[in-house]
Amino acid sequence: MSTLCTTSARRGPQRGSLMAGALATAALTGISLIGSPTPARADDGNTFFTTEQQVFGFLSQSTPLNQQEAIKGYPASGQDAQEVKLDDVEKVYPHDQALQDVPSKLGSGFDLPPSVPTEGPDIRRRSGDDKEPWLSNWDAKSMCGQPSHNPGGDPMPCGFVGVLDKAYPTVQTTAAVMGKAKLTYKTQAMVGQDTSQTSGWSVGGKVSATLVPPGSTGGTSPGGEVNFSYSESTTTTNKWTSLTEQTTDVDIPDGVSGRLEGRVNGGSYLGYIVYKLDFTNGDGDRKQKMVLIPARVMIQAPSNPAPITWVKRQG
Residues 45 and 25: their CA atoms lie apart, in Å, by 25
Mean per-residue pLDDT for 150-157? 80
Residue 32 has pLDDT above 50, yes or no: no
Residue 254 has pLDDT above 70, yes or no: yes
Mean per-residue pLDDT for 173-191? 77
Query: pLDDT class for 105, splitting at 50, 70, 90?
Result: very high
Residues 6+ apart with CB under 8 A from 261: 55, 170, 172, 173, 310, 311, 312, 313
- pTM, two decimals, is 0.81
With vertex at residue 55, the alpha carbon angle to CA 50 and CA 61, rounded to the nearest 5 degrees, is 145
Residues 260-303 pLDDT 10s: 888 999 999 999 999 999 988 888 889 999 999 999 999 999 88
Residues 124 and 131: their CA atoms lie apart, in Å, by 10
Mean per-residue pLDDT for 190-195? 63
Residue 205 has pLDDT above 90, yes or no: no
H or E element: which one contains 72?
strand 68-72
Pairing of strands 131-132, 205-209: unpaired
Residue 10 has pLDDT above 70, yes or no: no
270 or 226: which leads in pLDDT: 270
Neighbours of 95 (CB within 10 A): 19
37 or 51: which leads in pLDDT: 51
Question: Which spans in 183-243 are helix H?
Answer: 196-199
Residue 167 has pLDDT above 70, yes or no: yes
- The DSSP result for 125-149, as a single string, is SBTT--EEGGGTTEEHHHHTTPPPS
Mean per-residue pLDDT for 227-252? 75
